Amino acid sequence: MSARDTAVELVCSRLDEAQRSATPVRPQEDWPQLSLDQAYAAQARLVDRRLQRGEQQVGLKLGFTSEAKMRQMGIDELIIGVLTDGMQVPDGGRVDLGTLVHPRVEPEVAFRFGRDLDLADAALQVADLQGALDGVAAGIEVIDSRYEGFSFDLPRVVADNTSAAAFTTGEWVDPDSVQIGELAVTLSIAGAVAAEGSTAAILGHPLSTLPHLLSLGRKLGLSVPAGSVVLAGAATAAVPLLAGDVVVRVAGLGEAHLTGVDGGEVAS
Ligand code: OOG
Ligand code: MG
């Protein structure tokens, strides 16, 4: 193994262990500096480990597609990560806080694609992605950085599969029946509004994420099998997830729900 490969494998192992034990890593001490390409290689290996343990890929997620998110985390480059069924929570389902380090929630617009799309296929166009879109929905993403203090730079968050931890989606709506360019977004926790924004905060329009999905997916050789979900990225800053009900409402599109529960409550 080259030194480069060893660094990628080390980062992957430590992030995998951190996620599985809900114990953050302290990258300020002895952490290999990865290039962005190496970070995506580490992410791919991390996802591979999950797939080898029996999880299935169910979609992709984009990150840092809004000013609010970029400002909150101090990163101004769009990123992509992978969603598995191990992260998928049914609408209204529970998220066990005991399995997470320091989870946050954020409102998402979710896309569902109805046809297999091989993003590596050079002939594939943004219009093909748009044509394959068969559902849009309000969503909630739970992010949980495996780095202490929820603090990272671009390669670190990429290697950490873009902090992906859990997500849920509300009822799917026919994309031809709704204009999603400028809808009010509200994130409520325990009945109180915790963040507010507009779908326009997502690159001006959530559909403007599709060219980025294609270019990043092409570069990384990702595929979007029929039925895949893609999260377009949060329109607002993320807020801590505590025990209690979380609701994301996208006016004119729908709602998504989940409940944060303390570990003991899930076991009982
Ligand atoms: C990285 C994930 C960013 C989004 O919607 O922008 C993201 C993070 O903030 O930890 O999911
Ligand atoms: Mg997100």
Nearest CA residue ID for atom 4, ligand 1: 63
- Which residue minimizes the CA distance to atom 7 of ligand 1? 63
When pLDDT is cut at 50, 70 and 90, the band that residue 267 belongs to is very low
Q: Which of 27-41, 150-164, 236-250 has the lowest mean pLDDT?
A: 27-41
| Ligand 1 atom nearest to 143, measured from its CA | 10
The best mutation among 163, 203, 248 to test binding of ligand 1, ranked by most ligand atoms within 8 Å of the C-beta, falls on 163
Convert 227-248 to b/e letters by CB count within 10 Å (16 or more is b): ebbbbbbbbbbbbebeeeebbb
pLDDT for position 72? 96
- Residue 152 CA: nearest ligand 1 atom is 10
Task: Starting from the CA of residue 209, give the closest ligand.
Answer: 1
Cα(1) to ligand 2 centroid in Å equals 34
pLDDT value of residue 12: 97
Q: How many angstroms from the chain centroid is the CA of residue 132?
A: 21
Per cent of the chain over pLDDT 70 is 98
Among protein residues, the one with the nearest Cα to ligand 1's atom 8 is 163
State in Å: Cα 147 to ligand 1 middle.
13
Question: Is 70 exceeded by the pLDDT of residue 266?
Answer: no
Q: What is the mean pLDDT of residues 144-151?
A: 97
Q: What number does the ligand 1 atom closest to the CA of 73 have?
A: 9
29 — pLDDT class (breaks 50, 70, 90): confident
pLDDT of residue 268: 41
User: b/e for 181-198, b at 16 or more Cβ within 10 A?
Assistant: eebebbbbbeeeebbebb
Using 50, 70 and 90 to split pLDDT, how confident is the model at 3?
A: confident
Ligand 1, atom 1, lies closest to the CA of: 162
Task: Tell me how far apart the terminal alpha carbons of the chain are, to the nearest angstrom.
Answer: 46
Give residues (CB < 6 A) around ligand 1.
61, 63-64, 69, 73, 106, 141, 143, 145, 157, 162-163, 233-234
pLDDT tens, residue by residue, 204-242 = 999 999 999 999 999 999 999 999 999 999 999 999 999
Look at residues 170, 156, 148 and name the one whose alpha carbon lies nearest to residue 40: 156
Atom of ligand 1 nearest to the CA of 163: 10
pLDDT in tens, 66-115: 999 999 999 999 999 999 999 999 999 999 999 999 999 999 999 999 99
Atom of ligand 1 nearest to the CA of 157: 1
Per-residue pLDDT reduced to its tens digit, 109-133: 999 999 999 999 999 999 999 999 9
> Per-residue pLDDT for 265 more than 60?
no
Helices (H), ranges, 22-162 = 36-52, 67-73, 126-132, 154-159
- pLDDT tens by residue, 156-170: 999 999 999 999 999
Mean pLDDT of the chain: 96
What is the band of 27 on the pLDDT scale with cuts at 50, 70, 90?
confident
Task: Report whether pLDDT(179) > 90.
Answer: yes
- In this predicted structure, what is the pLDDT of residue 240? 98
Give the Å distance between the CA of 8 and the centre of ligand 1. Answer: 21
CA distance 252 to 45: 39
The tens digit of pLDDT for each residue in 45-72 reads: 999 999 999 999 999 999 999 999 999 9
Gap from CA of 70 to ligand 2 centroid (Å): 11
